[in-house]
Every structure is written in structure tokens, then in C-alpha cells.
Chain A
Amino acid sequence: MNAGEAGEDEASRKELRPYKVYAIEEGVVIDHIPPKKACDVINVLGALEGDSIVTLGVNLDSKQMGKKDVVKIERKELSWEELMKIALIAPDASLNIIKGHKVVDKLKIKVPAMFEKVVRCPNPNCITRHEPVDTKFHTVSERPFRLRCHFCERVFEREEVSLI
């Protein structure tokens, strides 16, 4: 268990570096958001509604992605629906859970097999647009990101669908 702890600590410090601006005691850092999508993430999470500290970094350098955005929200816990919404905007995002000023866990967003109640079907003749039916979309592929409406069975590119 102890082997490599020093290395891990160093790695952990390095990980923390970008998040030092307005260190928060508790909350979440959403990392690896596609560049210029940070505002979308903040909006779908309604992060500006309360008085929590919200920090965002736009166009940061990233080894993995070239450029990336990062969002940090104080005192934020993510619900299942919020995770689905993040998966739609930033399918490669990772989450850093912060407690007592420390990153206590890192989680990687995984695109769900099904999106429920978070996406509106763009097909105007879909039953979900005419009846009070919860929408449901199946992930057809992640790259390219394609979704299929459970009801009208049409396949859409990610860019074609909008969040509810």
C-alpha cells in the first residue's frame, strides 16, 4: 500500500496546481471540457443560481486535448441527471471531488447507454413532441457522438439535439 506513496503525493500536488485559484474547501472540479464549452456546463448545472464560488478556465493547454476548459464549483454535488448533461456536452470530462481542500476522488465521465429526460427530440413528428412522454435516447456511437430516439427511432448527431 505504501509503495509509491511519495510519487503519488507529488502527482497529486501537480494535479492540484491548476485549481489553486480560489481554493475551495468542498466542491467539484470538472476538467477536460472541450474548449469554449465551459459556459454550457455552468449553464446546464445552474451553477450561477446560488452564491457558490464558480471558477472557469477557458482554452487551457492540455496534453490530451490540445486545448480544454475547466470549471470549478464550490459546494456542488452532481445528480444523475446533471452527470448525463455533462456527458452530452463534455463526453471526455473528468471530475475531481474536493473535500477539506483536497482532491478526494477523481472520476471520469462515461457516456451512458441511455439518456433519459435530458434531451429533446429534434423530430417535430416524434410522439415526445406531442404527448407528455419522458424522452429517452440510446447512444448509438460515441465517436462520432450519435443518439437514437427510443420512440421515433431516428438517429441524430450530438449537435442536432438540444438539452431539455
Chain B
Amino acid sequence: MGVVRKRQRLGSSKAVSSAVSSRIMHGKIPGKISSGLPSLSSRHLPSRPNYRNYKKTSKKTFRKNHHPDPAHQAHHPSYPNNVNFKGRSIISINDLTREEIIHVLETARKIEAMGEEKKRNLLAGHVLATLFFEPSTRTRMSFESSMKRLGGKTIGFVDPTTTSFAKGETLHDSIKMIENYVDVIAMRHPTEGAARVAAESTRKPVINGGDGANQHPTQTLLDLYTIKKTQGRLTGLNVAMVGDLKYGRTVHSLAIALSHFNCRLFFVAPESLKMPKTYLDMLAKKGIEFSEHEKIEEVIDNIDILYSTRIQKERFPDPTEYQKVKDIYILKRSMLGNVRENLKIMHPLPRVNEIHPDVDKTPYAYYFQQAANGIPVRQAVLSLVLGALK
């Protein structure tokens, strides 16, 4: 960072470490200063120790916690080409490259096809901590079931108020204590970024099971797995996302993940709950084709996947506004007359009223199987970060 020397003089290289100069040279500007001047004192550059720390932290945390911007990703030459998950934390879908996502999904497929005997011993001897700083029964049960069915054990808590966390211990210190007992940690926390802090506090892999409104990467992976499983591919699909696209964490992550696979995206939402502009900008930058709609009927006949999400009453400052939109976004059997044969309807569950129960018996309904796909996907993630599978 820091500074770009307007003029790089002979003999002044001592003042600028090679690391610094390699970073700043590309911004070099032709200088106007007399070449006879004494060389710059290193005091005026960012001091070396600071710089070293900066380099060190970014390198050390890079593999584990790097989350690339589309813009930055291409500039990281050290980004792994060959996928290796052992010891790595899974914090954000943004940390994963296209190849890495494909590898997790492929591993999940292998686990599903694996013989029972082999499966039962895959993670024998390993212990998973499930740390639920806020309750989420289905996510916790899915992680615990995944671990136990592969022969592993689980310990953990659901209610932090009954543990030492209530006594004002920092998250960092709690994780430092817990890492002595387990091989891998799955955690859910109401505060955004908590999983990243946990991952940076320990050398044991941390799997983010949801951090506030931010990330829930195993949910995104299971969504992708479901799409792949039902459509036979991930690329070039028409995918519609319906409902609360403004606050819906799952749809944000899914849209970003699908941008690796060149899908055509349709965003169906009321005016007040539209997909945020930052996500649309990101998609546009990656050349992804998308459009925004106000009615399901505008897109339903041309899509392969309909991803429905809950519209929560609390999101509307004006209750009449909610009453107005809530019925427009209810998917009913009568709307499915001319849909594609391969259409599958997904929903992260629990649903409230956005999918009418009369849809459940149609061949398009897939939300219950979708939740079941959480098992092989979480098993894949656990096996990969523990190094049981490559």
C-alpha cells in the first residue's frame, strides 16, 4: 500500500523493501526531483515492522479465510488451483472458487453413493463441536446427524446463557478453550462475522452454520447440490428467485454462487423487497444475464428452478403494504399449468404461506428433499476439512 515513489533512484533500494517496491512499482510516476538528492529515509515509508505484520497476516489468513472480490480474485496468483480443503474453515460461499464448489458437490455425490459400512467409519474417532449461540434446531440436527452417520461424535451447546459465554468471555477465548476438545467446529451466531472471528482464533476448521444476516455456506452448497441433482447440471439454467430478495441471505448467496455457472437469473419481488443493487452490480460485472419482475406469472413457464423465500411481515413498516403483496407471492397449483417438465420448486424452509400446500403433491415440489440434501453436503464438508476425503 501506502505510497508510490514518484522516482525510484539508484541506491535507494535499501529504503524500500523488495516487497514494498513490487507492490508499488506499477503505480510509479515519472519523477521531477533532482537525482543528486540524498536517498529517502526509511522512516518516511511505512515502517518495516508494520509492513511485515501486514503481509504476514494477509498471507497466513489467506488460504483459510480469503474471500475474493470478483475484481480481486484474478490478481491473486497464489489462489489454489488444486483443491485442498484439509484444515480449512468454511465461512462464506464467497471464499470458494468454482472448482472448489464443484469439488464439494462431487464429494457429496460420492458419499451418497457410498456403501453403508464404509460410511459408518468414515469419520470414526473425530469429534464435532456444535456451538449454537442462537437456536436453530434444523441446522444443528443436520450437522449432528451428518457427523454421527459417518461414525463421528458430537458435543456442544444450544443455549449460551447456561455456559461460560454468559460470563463475558470473548468469542476468541471461548473458541481457544473449545478447540482443545474437538477436531472441527460448526457454529451459529446471531452476530455477523462471528464465524470469521472464530476461524481466525483457532487452527481447527470452523464451519459457519449461519452468522446473522451474513452467510450460511452449507445452505448455499445444499441448494447448489439440489439444483445439480434435479437438473443434471448447474450451467446455463433459468433460475427464478421469488419473495424477499432484499433481506434474504439465502438468495444473495445463491445468486453469487450461481454466477460461477452462467445461469440466467429472474428476480421476482415486490418493489420494497427487490434484490439490492450491490448484488445486481456484482452480477452485471460478471456478465450474468438477469431481469427483475413483480409477478411469478411473468417467468413461471420459462424456468428450470423456482427458489421461493419467505416474506416476513416484520419487514414492512406499513402493514397494509404487507397485506397487498403477501398474496401476490403465493405459489399455487393453478399457476403450474404450462411450466417446464423439469421445473423444481425449492424453498429453504420453514415456509409460512408462500407455497400453497396443494403444490406439495405436484412433481415440481422439491423443498422437502432439498432439506434432506443437507446431510450429504454437510458430510462432504466435514469429511473434506477433516481430511478423511480428498
Residues of B within 8 A of A150 (CB): 193, 196
Query: What per-residue 1/0 map shows which CB atoms of B30-49 lie under 8 Å from chain A?
Result: 01111111101101111100
Residues of B within 8 A of A106 (CB): 5-7, 31-33
Q: Are B33 and A8 in touch, CB under 8 angstroms?
A: yes
Which of B210-218, B222-230, B308-316 lies at the binding interface? B210-218
Task: Using known A-B contacts A80-B46, A140-B69, determine if residue A107 contacts B4 with beta carbons closer than 8 Å.
Answer: yes
Complex formed: what's the CA distance from A153 to B195 in Å?
12
Chain A minimum-CB-distance residue to B31:
A106
Q: Are B192 and A80 in touch, CB under 8 angstroms?
A: no
Complex formed: what's the CA distance from A62 to B278 in Å?
34
Q: Are A79 and B50 in touch, CB under 8 angstroms?
A: yes
Min Cβ gap B367→A in Å is: 27
Complex formed: what's the CA distance from A155 to B7 in Å?
34
Complex formed: what's the CA distance from A107 to B3 in Å?
6
Complex formed: what's the CA distance from A7 to B46 in Å?
31
Q: Are B24 and A110 in touch, CB under 8 angstroms?
A: yes
Q: Are B278 and A155 in touch, CB under 8 angstroms?
A: yes
Task: Using known A-B contacts A111-B1, A140-B69, determine if residue A104 contacts B197 with beta carbons closer than 8 Å.
Answer: no
Q: Judge if B92 is at the interface, Cβ distance under 8 Å.
A: yes
Task: Using known A-B contacts A109-B2, A131-B172, A149-B193, determine if residue A9 contacts B50 with beta carbons closer than 8 Å.
Answer: no
Q: Judge if A67 is at the interface, Cβ distance under 8 Å.
A: no
Interface of A (DSSP majority class): mixed
Residues of B within 8 A of A99 (CB): 38, 41
Task: Using known A-B contacts A151-B197, A155-B278, determine if residue A79 contacts B46 with beta carbons closer than 8 Å.
Answer: yes
Residues of B within 8 A of A1 (CB): 35
Residues of A within 8 A of B33 (CB): 8, 12, 103-106
B side interface size, CB within 8 A: 53
Complex formed: what's the CA distance from A125 to B31 in Å?
46
Min Cβ gap A147→B in Å is: 11
Q: Judge if B84 is at the interface, Cβ distance under 8 Å.
A: no
Q: Judge if A58 is at the interface, Cβ distance under 8 Å.
A: no
Q: Judge if A113 is at the interface, Cβ distance under 8 Å.
A: yes
Complex formed: what's the CA distance from A103 to B6 in Å?
12
Residues of B within 8 A of A103 (CB): 33
Q: Judge if B177 is at the interface, Cβ distance under 8 Å.
A: no
Residues of B within 8 A of A80 (CB): 2, 46-47, 50-51, 54
Residues of B within 8 A of A151 (CB): 192-193, 196-197
Q: Are B1 and A153 in touch, CB under 8 angstroms?
A: no
Q: Are B37 and A105 in touch, CB under 8 angstroms?
A: yes
Q: Are A110 and B34 in touch, CB under 8 angstroms?
A: no
Q: Are B212 and A125 in touch, CB under 8 angstroms?
A: yes
Query: What per-residue 1/0 map shows which CB atoms of A115-150 lie under 8 Å from chain B?
Result: 010000001011110111100001011000000111
Q: Judge if B94 is at the interface, Cβ distance under 8 Å.
A: yes
Q: Which 5 A-B pairs have the closest CB atoms?
A: A151-B193, A112-B1, A152-B192, A80-B46, A127-B193
